Structure 1
Amino acid sequence: MVRITSHASLLTAAALALSAPAHAAPASASAAAASSASVIVAATPVPSSSTDADAPLFSSETLQLTDEVIADLTPVLQNNTDLFDFGGEVSSSELSARCISCISKCKVFPGDVLWPATWVWSLFDRLLGGRLVKTVPLAASCYSSWPEYDPEQCQVVSDNWTVSYMHAADPASIMWPLFEGRSCLPTDDPSGSCTVGGYSSYAVNVSNVAQIQLAVNFARNAGLRLVVKNTGHDFNGKSTGAGALGIWTHNLKDIEYYPDYQSSSYRGAAVKMGAGVQAFEIYQKAKELGFTAVGGEGKTVGVAGGYVLGGGHSPMSSIYGLAADQVLALEVVLANGRFVTVTEDTDADLFWALRGGGGATYGVVTSVISRVQPKVGVTVSTFSFSTSATVSTSTFWAGVRSYFERFAIHADAGTYAYFWIMATGPDSFMFLMNPFFAVNHTVAEFNSLVQPWFDDLAALNIPTSPQTAYYDNFHSAWEAGFPLETVASTTMMTGSRLFPRANWESPALLNKTFDAIQQTVVAGAPVLAFNMKAELPEGYPASSANPAWRNALMHAISSASWTEDATDAEILQTMTSFTEDVLGVWRETCPESGAYMSEADILEPNFQQAFYGDNYARLYKLKQRYDPFGVFYAPTAVGSEDWVVESEDGLPDQNGRLCRV
């Protein structure tokens, strides 16, 4: 292998790597990397100080693609240089001459005449340093039509299909295969059908910035659909797409703690996280070093990926706001392929848009610097109650109503409650608190806070047996309190609503809100909800996060389901009914509010208002400025209304060609 460390050696290595005739390239990109006598690493090192973020670049960020690197490649790449050139600020007439996707109505798709030839993928892989992965669905081992067929491995995949760690660790798989198109699911019938479907065709396993730049430039210039994946947690499948080139940032795991970070507007503790850092990783580091990070509730959520870009609610939000509010700086590869540092000083507009305006929209974030908080103690409590021979249905709902009436008090005390209300049979219901997460509360303080509710439950003769414990740090409390998320169901969809404080300030609106939740559960749909708030802390810069978060007291989620043998038409009917009949009742209680984009209904009507509120017009205008090429697309993202996926099954998934409206 030849590794490039200078422009001169780059030219020599390129000549060696391309000495074989193009038509003799191997049949797949992975085979190309394996058989090549030399691997080009189209990157040049830059000083770690080459940033305006007041903290050094990670080593992965010091390897970059530059104009000089491309110029050095020109003699050997010949006519193929245009595939990897940077984009520029161009007029609309020039734009159509610069990229295929600007000429064609649709992104180039496998089988099209303009789909890159095998030797082009081979060349791309060599430039990446052998980091291109041709997609093999996780469950391919279950199908005899695939070379990967292996019954033992199929059993491993089947046994772990609902475990988020497995999907996060795959370059193409996502947590909700319904939105990929259910094209290759675990099975005990090896003669069944397994296709790549709505998964990306290829993915770049990113280890440095140059690889992201190459991928962005290649996708833009070749007219390819581009997707960005860290873990694949988004409820609507934003990190997948048929025929796409994927950028997989999952392995950018660097973490650096700065006890005294200084910028023009902030001085205090901060942490720099690579885009692949997950909740369990930053929380472990925080425990080790004695700070508290504002990150996700879910264990495998990518804290520095789409989570923070979409706003990011947290067990710490009732005190410190959203994860997006903590961000002080971001390192980003833009749609033109350039690597930039984004702060309030360097680009106030983009700094605002990236913090809450959604992932896969303006660029690919390689790292974020976020403020962190001091070590904090937490009391965690779990308990439940249900209907029984001694607890009638009306009594049960009276106990739940007593809890609802105290939402403002609990959230204003800085707590975060994660609870379920569900039917367990005809006229049979359960309330499950799992958990009540009381930040900065001792057990005695927690008991004092909830005592009025517990007194009501006792007066109603509703028995409870709380399991309550205090932890002197966030990580231990979080690890004990929150279960590992269950994912990958193919027979359900979810939707949500942010219910505002105003619904608790008016007795009539509170009645309407409670009735809407009760009606949902009685009809057979579960309710998973968070009692919390996410106000912008005083002195923090404004962000583009959904304004509905700023006065919310409850983030509620429900779901609809169907049988495994349901037809596509039946599934679509169920989804539509859920959107209109179940969530429609929720919307009626607070039509001016919205929903959390990362845990929402993909069929949400007027998603622009629901997910972005009054920020949408500005965000859309910035989308046109920073991505005039239309490089980045994700369902319900800013500007997504300009595109449509021609889904193969008629469902709102990503298994189809992406075309302009």
Structure 2
Amino acid sequence: MLSNTLKVGALLGLAIASPVHASESSSNECRCFPTDDCWPSVSVWNAFNQSVDGRLVATVPLATSCHAPHYNKEICDELREGWDMPEEHYKSSSSFMAPFFTNGTCDPYHPVSKPCRLGNFVRYAVNVSTPTHVAKTLQFATEHNIRFIIRNTGHDYNGKSTGAGAISVWTHHLKDIEFKDWSDKYYTGKAAKLGAGIQGIEAYEAAHERGLRMVSGECPTVGLAGGYSQGGGHSALNSRYGLGADQVLEWEVIDGNGNFLTANREENTDLYWALSGGGGGTYGVVWSMTSKAHEDTKVSGLNLTFTTTGISDETFFKAVEFYNSRLPYIVDEGVMSLCFLTNTSFAVEPMTGPGVPLAKLESLIEPVLKEFTRLGINYTYQSEEFDSYLDQFNTQVPVVTVGVAQYGSWLLPRTVVESSNDLHELTNSIRTVLAEDATFTTVAVNVSKEVTGDVYNAVNPAWRTAIAHTLMSTVWEYDEPKKMQEKRDLMTNKLVPAVSRLGPNSGAYLNECDFQQPNWQYAFYGKNYQTLRSIKQKYDPHHLFYGLTAVGSEDWTVSYSGRMCRSNGSASHIEI
């Protein structure tokens, strides 16, 4: 943390991403940038630091030790070894896990001689421990017209948790957790109040100790109260309880005026509705989230894999098509099935049945096994019943890496797999994706109203009629910007359209999406978009909260240098 003028002055000497173009001079239409005359002086920053109890953190990029003149081989080798794991990043106040948005400024994979720049990293972070710290940071950003960012773990595929020349509130250390009995006319049962910094595995373990389980993601380190629940939140428990956003009972949030608000179904209901599925980082700074906690029971799980060795392409895609045809029968029993396809492999890892007896889960997959055998496929199969969800999660859910891919997605309507013609078209779409050496993932769930019950939120309506969230990904290669942009455009122009054509009126999961998605307002938010915009205006009157493809982001553009300026309102884009 900053504690004296020397440290602040040292930071101000670091380089930014690139020289500012002459046409980008500071104006009231642009956020103040570090090279501008409006940028606060060292003394102003130090005064602000004192006002937040010395909790201002100056950004030093995590990979500084991988570049001259601070190169340290031992440290850099260690960083490189763990760079694709979330744990390497979320302990930092500035590092993030979306490689496209680092713009090659400072990582372990570029030449040592390449200078380590601040680039798209936030300039400062406030390690907040009280709501007052948040309010003071919002006030400071407003007074000095500085870009503002909300950051917890940096686990965001589209760079929402960072921004050049920005100040952020860092919520990662807000780790309070309180279990309680909740009773109102909408829900009666166990609940947990989670600080904004609580991560999935922390919630899982705390609930497990009390004989409970909570809905969170397959990645154990994701921030539960952040973009995960605010953006919807898929989970192995979705088909039993609904999405992450469907669990939320109450929010505590600091709005754009610095007011500390409680939002639930009876108080600030519009804000409650928007935060529950309408996207993270755009209506206020969440301080805590209270969500349903469910009784833990036995959980059945299974893995099923095979490779293309010894079989034809035709056989492979027949197997894929048959598996997809069985998805309604599987998810309607409260099961989630996670399937990864490449041009050389098929892997269900895992299929999860909370409260589903092992014999029942095995009966659901039996037709698939019989068809694989008939096709002559040599598969590997393992099934097991566990005493708790945490046991199954720790045993069967694969390790989730970061910084290794870029993504696009589409919510696949249930009707596609219920029609033989549409099912065949889905197979053709998968062929198109795999032919480009991409991975095709299906997160098969049922989150219809029959599963969720009485919920009130802004979740993309396309989720309610979907059979799966489909995710397309291409491998990331550091220090290959031209190649990666080509892959990015491939995602936008070919891979996502290959699937979206099957359900053009559906949408995409906004937490795992193509940030270049055309018509993103409808694709990510559906019919809720205009209502969400009006709610944002109410709680964010100074237009502080911004994230690429977040509600209202079309009002801004971010240039190659990182400068953020008002747009003509036609589109949200970034040119880093």
Q: TM-score range by the shorter chain?
A: over 0.9
1:436 and 2:351 are equivalent in the alignment: yes
Partners of 2:491 and 2:514 within 8 A in 1: no
TM-score of the two chains, using structure 2 as the length reference = 0.92
- Per-residue CA deviation, residues 102-130 of structure 1 (Å, 9 max, x unaligned), is 97111111011111111111111111111
Whole-angstrom CA distance in 2 between matches of 1:326 and 1:528: 25
| Counterpart in the other structure of 2:332 | 412
- Per-residue CA deviation, residues 539-568 of structure 1 (Å, 9 max, x unaligned), is 423210111111111111112346545344
Whole-angstrom CA distance in 1 between matches of 2:112 and 2:313: 48
| Counterpart in the other structure of 1:652 | none
**Aligned match for 2:5, one of 7, 12, 26:** 26
- Per-residue CA deviation, residues 157-212 of structure 1 (Å, 9 max, x unaligned), is 12211110111111111111311322101148432211010000000111111111
In structure 2, relative to structure 1, the CA distance for the partners of 1:539 and 1:482 (3 Å cut) is closer
| Counterpart in the other structure of 1:343 | 264
**Aligned match for 2:35, one of 87, 100, 111:** 111
Describe how 1:4-15 pairs up with structure 2 within 5 A.
none
Q: 1:534 Cα shift?
A: 1.7
The residue type equivalent to 1:574 in the other structure is: K
1:471 and 2:386 are equivalent in the alignment: yes
Q: 1:262 Cα shift?
A: 2.6
More divergent stretch after superposition (172-181 vs 325-334) = 172-181
In structure 2, relative to structure 1, the CA distance for the partners of 1:222 and 1:188 (3 Å cut) is closer
1:449 and 2:364 are equivalent in the alignment: yes
Residue 319 of structure 1: SS of its match in structure 2? Answer: helix
Partners of 2:101 and 2:159 within 8 A in 1: yes
Partners of 1:29 and 1:132 within 8 A in 2: no
Q: 1:519 Cα shift?
A: 2.2
**Aligned match for 2:459, one of 542, 545, 548:** 545
| Counterpart in the other structure of 1:361 | 282
In structure 2, relative to structure 1, the CA distance for the partners of 1:556 and 1:486 (3 Å cut) is same
Partners of 2:256 and 2:540 within 8 A in 1: yes
The residue type equivalent to 2:5 in the other structure is: P
Whole-angstrom CA distance in 2 between matches of 1:132 and 1:370: 31
Q: 1:27 Cα shift?
A: 3.2
Partners of 1:237 and 1:635 within 8 A in 2: yes
Partners of 1:29 and 1:125 within 8 A in 2: no
The residue type equivalent to 2:508 in the other structure is: A
**Aligned match for 2:236, one of 298, 315, 325:** 315
Whole-angstrom CA distance in 1 between matches of 2:454 and 2:565: 39
Partners of 1:30 and 1:130 within 8 A in 2: no
Gaps of 5+ in 1: 1-16, 18-24, 33-101, 424-428, 649-655
Whole-angstrom CA distance in 1 between matches of 2:211 and 2:8: 45
1:139 and 2:54 are equivalent in the alignment: no
**Aligned match for 1:237, one of 159, 169, 181:** 159
Whole-angstrom CA distance in 2 between matches of 1:271 and 1:561: 37
The residue type equivalent to 1:107 in the other structure is: R
TM-score of the two chains, using structure 1 as the length reference = 0.80
The residue type equivalent to 1:589 in the other structure is: L
| Counterpart in the other structure of 2:219 | 298
| Counterpart in the other structure of 2:47 | 123
1:497 and 2:403 are equivalent in the alignment: no
1:458 and 2:373 are equivalent in the alignment: yes
Residue 265 of structure 2: SS of its match in structure 1? Answer: coil
Gaps of 5+ in 2: 12-25, 568-576
Whole-angstrom CA distance in 1 between matches of 2:477 and 2:130: 44
Q: Which has the larger radius of gyration?
A: 1
In structure 2, relative to structure 1, the CA distance for the partners of 1:544 and 1:103 (3 Å cut) is farther
| Counterpart in the other structure of 2:201 | 280
More divergent stretch after superposition (533-542 vs 206-215) = 533-542
Whole-angstrom CA distance in 2 between matches of 1:195 and 1:107: 20
- Per-residue CA deviation, residues 478-510 of structure 1 (Å, 9 max, x unaligned), is 111112211123xx4211111011212332222
The residue type equivalent to 1:640 in the other structure is: S
Partners of 1:362 and 1:627 within 8 A in 2: yes
Whole-angstrom CA distance in 2 between matches of 1:441 and 1:265: 26
Partners of 2:59 and 2:121 within 8 A in 1: yes
| Counterpart in the other structure of 1:488 | 403
Whole-angstrom CA distance in 2 between matches of 1:129 and 1:565: 40
| Counterpart in the other structure of 1:628 | 541
Whole-angstrom CA distance in 2 between matches of 1:565 and 1:208: 40
Describe how 1:523-562 pairs up with structure 2 within 5 A.
523-536=436-449, 537=451, 539-561=453-475
**Aligned match for 1:659, one of 543, 565, 571:** 565
Partners of 1:594 and 1:610 within 8 A in 2: yes
Whole-angstrom CA distance in 2 between matches of 1:538 and 1:313: 13
1:167 and 2:73 are equivalent in the alignment: no
Residue 572 of structure 1: SS of its match in structure 2? Answer: helix
- Quote the sequence identity (%): 38
Q: 1:443 Cα shift?
A: 2.0
Whole-angstrom CA distance in 1 between matches of 2:479 and 2:130: 44
Partners of 2:320 and 2:427 within 8 A in 1: no
**Aligned match for 2:142, one of 209, 212, 220:** 220
Partners of 1:286 and 1:475 within 8 A in 2: no
In structure 2, relative to structure 1, the CA distance for the partners of 1:300 and 1:562 (3 Å cut) is closer
Whole-angstrom CA distance in 2 between matches of 1:508 and 1:349: 42
- Per-residue CA deviation, residues 210-258 of structure 1 (Å, 9 max, x unaligned), is 1111111111121010011111111101100000001110110111111
1:195 and 2:110 are equivalent in the alignment: no
